[in-house]
Every structure is written in structure tokens, then in C-alpha cells.
Amino acid sequence: MRLFLHLVKLSILEQATYRTALVAGLATNFFWGLFRAAVIVALYNGRSEVNGLTLEGAITYIAVGQAMIAFLSLFGTFELMATVYSGSIASDLIRPTPLFFLWMARDLGHSLVNLVIRGVLLLGVFALFYPIALPETPLGWGWTALSLIIGWLVSYAWRFLVNLAAFWTPDARGIGRGAFALSQLASGFIIPLRLYPEWFSHLCYLTPFPAMFNTGMEVFLGALSGGQLVRALGVQLIWFLGLVLLSQWILRAGIRRLVIQGG
């Protein structure tokens, strides 16, 4: 655990070095937020509520989505597959920490820096342009935080799993691009899932992707309460555990095939 925290700290320091990149990323996410909010306003076209989602709620959903891009790495990560191709994964496999936790620590550090700088800051600036609906009670904040943390875990486990494709094919990048496009679409990041037609959102609910982002947002907006809330968090957790088990099983098969060229 101490080792894990130390790795997280290193990763925070690494990420915090790239300040201009952080600000540039913030500006880009912010612009896309304004653009997407304009699309939502035009879609609502005067309606105050669509399928239980108010206009203010939908705009908040979009804004938080932009704020969380970097925290949840919604566009995907490709670092692990790069180490398979370069062979540096060998030195990671020798370490006493399991690969899953090693990358989790590295990932978490980056995510935390991005949560503060590209997340909180973005929402703050965005609130100057559009009204943002925040959770109303401390308990609401607590549930939101919990759901976002599990969302992060699901996102991490999914990205870990996708990266394992590199053990089998030299085209893991292409596979990753496709897989991450799918998770963007079905997690609600592009458009809140409630705004899709029923048949499509029900299809999405069968996948682990809503657990990454949509569930957290429903909790954020206070759309879930009581039994529904507990059930939603439980589903998130089950997806996380499922993805962990699947990725561990695949990792073991992958390592067995792994050949590293010396040199």
C-alpha cells in the first residue's frame, strides 16, 4: 500500500510538470463544452424537461462530461500496449507489484491532477456561461463521489483490458481506437443516455459503459434515490469486479505467449 501511494505521488509530480499542456487541454475541453451545450439548448428548443432530464440537468451533464474527460481518460489510454511493443513490460513484470496495480497507481496520479485542474476549474469557468445544477445536500455529494470513484475504477479496468490486445496483435492501437469510441458512445459522454431512444439506451445498459460515467451523472443530478441508488452503485461495482476478473484471466494467457527480444 505504501508503495502504491508512492507510485501515485510520482505520477502526480510527473503530470503536474506539464502545466501548459494541462491549460491547453482545459481550453479545448471548455470550448467543446460550450459547443455541446449549444447543441443541447437547440435540441430542447424551449422544452423544460425531456425523459426526466431538465435542460439545466442536461447542460450540467455535458459540462461535467467535459470536465471528466481527462479524469476518466474517456478517450482511452495506450501506454500499456506501448510497453508490450517496446519490451519494457518485462521490467514491469519482474516487479513485485502486480501489473494491474502498477498501472492503476500510474493512472490514478494522472487522473487526480486532471480532476483538480481540468475538472474543477473547468466547471467553475463553465458556470459563468451556463447555470450548473450541483448536488444539493452533503449526502448527495457523498454518493456522487462514491459513484465517480467506482466509475473511475470501471474505466481503468476497461482500459487495462483493451490494452491487453497488444499481446495478440500488432494492431492494438486500432482496436483500442474502436473500443474507446464504443465506450464514449455508450457511456453517455457524447449525449446523455436518457436522450437516446429507449431501444438504444436499453442496449447501452447491458454493457459496462454506463457504469463509467452515466451512473455517476444520474447520481450527481439527484435522479436516483433509495433502492434505485443502491442498486445503481451495486451494478457499477459488479461491472468493476467482472472486468477485473476477465482482465486478470486474459493477462495470464497473454503473458504465457509473450516473447521479449533481448538487446
Partner 1 sequence: MRRQFSLYLRLISIQLRSQMQFRASFWTDVMTTGLLNFSYFFSTYLVLQRFGSIAGWTIAEMAFLYGMIEISFGAMDMIFSGFDPDSFSRFIRQGLLDQVLLRPVSVAVQVFGSAFVLRRLGRITQGALVLAFALINLPVHWTPLKLGLLPVMWVSQIMAMGALFMVGSTLTFWTVQRVEAINILTYGGVEVMSYPMTIYPRWMRGFFTYLIPFIFLNYYPALFILGKPDPLGLPAFTPFLAPLVGGAMLFLASRFWRLGLSHYQSTGT
Cell of 23: 491549460
Among 16, 34, 132, 235, binds partner 1 (CB under 8 A): 34
Give yes or no for residue 170 binding partner 1 (CB under 8 A).
yes
Distance of CA 146 to the CA centre of its chain: 14
Question: Of 6, 190, 14, 187, which Cα lies nearest the Cα of 105?
Answer: 6
Give least dist CB 158 to partner 1, A: 16
Nearer to partner 1, 50 or 116 (CB): 50
Give least dist CB 49 to partner 1, A: 13
Among 12, 41, 115, 246, binds partner 1 (CB under 8 A): 41
Angle, helices 2-17/19-44, rounded to nearest 10 degrees: 80
Query: Where does this chain touch partner 1 (CB under 8 A) — which range of 6-14, 105-113, 160-168, 183-191?
Result: 183-191
Give least dist CB 46 to partner 1, A: 12
Distance of CA 134 to the CA centre of its chain: 20
Task: For Cα atoms 128, 38, 45, give the angle at the middle one, nearest 5 degrees.
Answer: 115
Residue 191 is classified by DSSP as S
Give yes or no for residue 32 binding partner 1 (CB under 8 A).
yes
Query: Where does this chain touch partner 1 (CB under 8 A) — which range of 88-96, 141-149, 181-189, 213-221?
Result: 181-189
Evaluate the CA torsion angle 38, 44, 47, 53 in order and state its sign.
negative
- Quote the CA–CA distance of 140 and 12 in Å, as a whole number: 28
Residues present in the chain in total:
263
Query: Where does this chain touch partner 1 (CB under 8 A) — which range of 22-30, 87-95, 211-219, 248-256?
Result: 22-30
Q: CB–CB of 204/193 below 8 Å? A: yes
Long-range contacts of 224-233 (CB under 8 A, 24+ apart): 229/143, 232/147, 233/143, 233/146, 233/147, 233/150
Interaction mask 116-135, partner 1, x per CB under 8 A: --------------------
Nearer to partner 1, 69 or 251 (CB): 69
Q: CB–CB of 126/29 below 8 Å? A: no
Among 10, 21, 120, 253, binds partner 1 (CB under 8 A): 21
Among 17, 28, 91, 225, binds partner 1 (CB under 8 A): 28
What does the binding site for partner 1 look like in residue numbers (CB under 8 A)? 20-21, 24-25, 27-28, 31-32, 34-35, 38-39, 41-43, 45, 50-51, 170-171, 174-175, 177-178, 181-182, 184-185, 190-191, 195-197, 200
